[in-house]
Amino acid sequence: MDFELTEEQKIIRESAREFLLNECPKELVRELDESDEGYSPDLWKKMTELGWMGLVIPEEYGGSGASFIDLMVLLEEMGYNICPGPFFSTVILGSLPIVEAGSEQQKRAYLPRIAQGELKVTMALTEPSAIYEASAIRTSARPDGNDYVISGTKLFVPDAHIADYIICVARTDNGSAGQDRPSPEKDIALFLIERSAPGVKTTLLKTLSREKQCEVLFEDVRVSQDSLLEMRGWQVVQDILDRASLALGAEMLGGAKAVMDMALQYAHDRSQFNRPIGSFQAVQQHLANMWADIYGTQYLIYKSAWNIAAGKPVPREVAMAKARIGQAYRRVTILGHQIFGGIGFTMEHDMHLYHRRSLTGDLLYGDSDFQHERIARELGL
Amino acid sequence: MLRRRPIRIASSRGKEDSVAMNFEFSKEEIAFKKEVEAFIKEELPPDWEERSLYWPAAYGALPIFEEEFREISDELCHKLGQKGWLTIGWPREYGGMGSMMKQAIFEDVVSYYRAPLGDVSTSISGPTIIALGNEEMKKEWLPRIASGEVRFWLGYSEPNAGSDLASINTRAVEDGDEYVINGQKIWSSGAHIADYAWLLVRTDPEARRHQGATLLIVDNRSPGVTIRPIENICGIHSFNEVFYDDVRVPRKNVVGEVNKGFYCVMLALLYERLIIGIGAFRRVLDDLIQYTKETVHNGKSLSENPLIRSKIAKMAVEIEVLYGFYWRSVWMMDKGQIPELEASVLKLFGSELSRTLANVAVEILGLYGQLERGSKWAPLRGWISLGYLDSISGPIGAGTSEVQRGIIATRGLGLPRK
């Protein structure tokens, strides 16, 4: 057993932290949060130059072929600093499905362009029922000659409004509002659809964290066979959900560490009753709890990611990691707020930037209740 | 069943590096675990399941405190001593296997089966003597500890010195070749079944609080030692008051240096915090899962109840977190690092999980959660209700949760004390 990062991973961590500190200061974060687009083309270009988009894309398709753990280390730094933009959607929700399920032709067509920062991609999965299960997919893909016609409503689609392509998860059976199918995971397909295709309508939702999520309407969107990414798609979706859970977990871990660092510094700097507030037991107990919460969860996150990187399916471990990180991050931001007192309750202070993200992080890709039920099944209950 | 295709994405472990994250055990460690498991299953009596008791990370209901298990325990200790399995984490030069990781694996297995073993001599006193004792002390004590011949008990707390250990009053005065000890210890777990006290005494009353104390090994059979039992809330005689009236101890029984006793105790406490009976957490979970699947009330098994499913799942997550702290602590020790923060959080988290787990367990059992050992209808041999009581002890003994958090905050995170 070994808990050490590789030298390369240490370099990724240090260089990413410094890069983001300089190139994505909180002023920019706030600006992007308040904008509709939510990303900076200039920053995007710089990230591309660093090879970030193609980090885990295989070398033969223009990427670096690095491991999932390397990506996790990078994502942790992005969560630490906060880095608004379609990186997560493009890399995790966009490039990973293409790598896993795309044809050779599709991989050559899209992956190099993603690695070069030319394309933004996302995945439209969740529907108004807001459940991460195959049975919840009602969006239909009706075969029509050599084409498919796609109809349905997707919600909470990250960055759809600026994406070039949207991977739509749809049902290819005759989509009769899916009551009680015996095997809902069958007949789920993935389609790679241009956002500019006729019938695709995106509306930006207003989220508490200001992360850009959209409603996407597919109104009789006609797509050719070429856009079919995977016919038997639910397993791909499940794999992506696992990776997205851990990837988001890494971001949340980074965010929690940032809150810890800020609160710890404040506990040293802020004085009341003629002494630093960090000398009071109650404040000390909070910080100790934050520390334990963060480093306790880190083990679950990296252990799962390591197994995934080694090609081992670990649904129970992933569910455990996801169940805990959201709750831990939320506990940490609440304690962080408590330590900062009044000043932390202002928009001007950075604390709320993390607090908001702790909530969305917990809710996305299956919240703790969902994950606990998944764990219960895996335990044989 | 959908066809599973191999996952090619990001599936390399990165470039070949001498150092890389690894969450698996080595082949050797896996083989060792199997060996320990086979041994312990073989050695424990066939009816051990029905008789044994132990609540993870708690201090009151240890099997070694039960009279009826004493013989089994002694025999097991003796056999383990012969195999060298009492000192797995000791450096090779002192007869150990030089692997805290393997020792941790060993303890994980034996605690799962609730084996009646005591750890103080081999896991606390031995390692402290190795680190801080002089050569004479090592020669005299290590072989006897390694063979499982001697049991120690920890003599720290006094009526006026619990969390504030520096307030100890038990005095040791020099008299020629000896010290003469007068005073009293309390919460002396296992003193009544041990051979030697690992005793912290005040040797220089003028010195500042953490200076002027010395750690001594004191024979329980010395004239002037009186051991008085205290019954804990589980109804078990686990600890005692121990009185010292002009008890004489040879000066060579000083562990480390005179007046530097606190340094020894701090190291000893670190070792103590690693002992949490981690396998027993998994054991409780497994027993609860089995119980909920088998128990049918009003036509439905308990395992169908969503609240129960959620509670058990949460416990599974927290147990996994505990293992993370556990493996990390021993990994650090094998690398020659002192896991000060990590050992504190391990003890803190484990003892509080012990309490949470007990609460979850009694709630799952419902009305049956109140039935004690020996009662008709008591599920799981009344083990859960016993654990509910014993789980009070975990976050209190060996440094309260409040103290552990204080250590994490001040020594770990560098926060000021005033």
Reduce the DSSP state of residue A320 to 3 states and report it.
helix
| CA–CA dist B287, B384 (Å, integer) | 10
A324 to chain B, closest Cα gap in Å: 7
Mutate to test the interface with A, among B25, B321, B340, B352 (most CBs of A within 10 A): B321
The whole-number average pLDDT for the span B105-128 is 95
B398 to chain A, closest Cα gap in Å: 18
Domains of chain B: 29-151 (1.10.540.10), 153-260 (2.40.110.10), 271-412 (1.20.140.10)
A181 has a pLDDT exceeding 90: no
* Res. A176 pLDDT band, cuts 50 70 90: low
> Which chain A residues are closer than 8 Å to B17 by Cβ?
6-8
Q: Which of B306, B8, B251 is nearest to B136 (CA)?
A: B251
Contact A122, A163 (CB under 8 A): yes
* Res. A347 pLDDT band, cuts 50 70 90: very high
Q: Which of B122, B141, B104 is nearest to B323 (CA)?
A: B104
> Between these two residues, A313 and B317, which has the higher pLDDT value?
B317
Domain spanning A235-378, CATH architecture: Up-down Bundle (1.20)
How does pLDDT run across A242-277, given as a tens digit for each residue?
A: 999 999 999 999 999 999 999 999 999 999 999 999
| Helical ranges in B84-227 per DSSP H | 100-112, 126-132, 135-146
**Could you tell me which CATH class the domain A122-232 is placed in?**
mainly beta
Helix (H) / strand (E) element for B269: namely helix B261-273
**For residue A179, what pLDDT is reported?**
59
Query: B23 and A306: CB-CB below 8 Å?
Result: yes
| Other beta carbons less than 10 A from residue B323's beta carbon | 18
How does pLDDT run across A87-116, given as a tens digit for each residue?
A: 999 999 999 999 999 999 999 999 999 999
Q: Which amino acid is at B361?
A: A
Of A284, A306, A309, which has the smallest distance from its Cβ to B405's Cβ?
Answer: A284
A134 has a pLDDT exceeding 80: yes
| CA–CA dist A21, A121 (Å, integer) | 26
- Active-site residue, from B66, B107, B158, B272: B272
Mutate to test the interface with A, among B15, B105, B317 (most CBs of A within 10 A): B317
Query: A381 and B417: CB-CB below 8 Å?
Result: no
**For residue B39, what pLDDT is reported?**
98
Report the share of chain B in percent with pLDDT over 90. Answer: 89
Helix (H) / strand (E) element for B316: namely helix B306-334
The mean pLDDT of chain B is 93
B202 has a pLDDT exceeding 70: yes
Distance of CA B45 to the CA centre of its chain: 23
Query: B23 and A303: CB-CB below 8 Å?
Result: yes
Query: B313 and A278: CB-CB below 8 Å?
Result: no
Helix (H) / strand (E) element for A300: namely helix A281-309
The whole-number average pLDDT for the span B400-417 is 96
B15 has a pLDDT exceeding 70: no
| CA–CA dist B276, B329 (Å, integer) | 12
Tokens of B247: 């008890």
| Other beta carbons less than 10 A from residue A231's beta carbon | 11
The mean pLDDT of chain A is 96
Residue with tokens 């121990």: B242
**For residue B68, what pLDDT is reported?**
87
**Catalytic status, residue B49:** no
SS3 content of chain B, % helix, strand, coil (to 5): 50, 15, 35
How does pLDDT run across B79-99, given as a tens digit for each residue?
A: 999 999 999 999 999 999 999
Domain boundaries, chain A: 7-118, 122-232, 235-378
Same fold, A7-118 and A235-378: no
Of A267, A284, A303, which has the smallest distance from its Cβ to B406's Cβ?
Answer: A284
B344 to chain A, closest Cα gap in Å: 10
Query: B412 and A291: CB-CB below 8 Å?
Result: yes
Helix (H) / strand (E) element for B10: namely none
Tokens of A255: 């965010």
| CA–CA dist A183, A187 (Å, integer) | 9
Report the share of chain A in percent with pLDDT over 90. Answer: 96
**For residue B116, what pLDDT is reported?**
92
A134 to chain B, closest Cα gap in Å: 13
> Which chain B residues are closer than 8 Å to A99 by Cβ?
8-10
A178 has a pLDDT exceeding 60: no
What CA–CA distances, in Å, run from B416 to A40, A162, A269, B170, B172? 42, 49, 11, 30, 33
How does pLDDT run across B17-31, given as a tens digit for each residue?
A: 456 899 999 999 999
A148 has a pLDDT exceeding 60: yes
A54 has a pLDDT exceeding 50: yes
Predicted interface score ipTM higher than 0.85: yes
Residue with tokens 């590789």: A6
Report the share of chain B in percent with pLDDT over 70. Answer: 95
Contact B152, B253 (CB under 8 A): no
The third-level CATH classification (topology) of the domain covering A7-118 is Butyryl-Coa Dehydrogenase, subunit A; domain 1 (1.10.540)
The whole-number average pLDDT for the span B207-223 is 95
How does pLDDT run across B52-75, given as a tens digit for each residue?
A: 889 999 999 998 898 888 889 999
* Res. B16 pLDDT band, cuts 50 70 90: very low
B208 has a pLDDT exceeding 70: yes
Contact A94, A53 (CB under 8 A): no
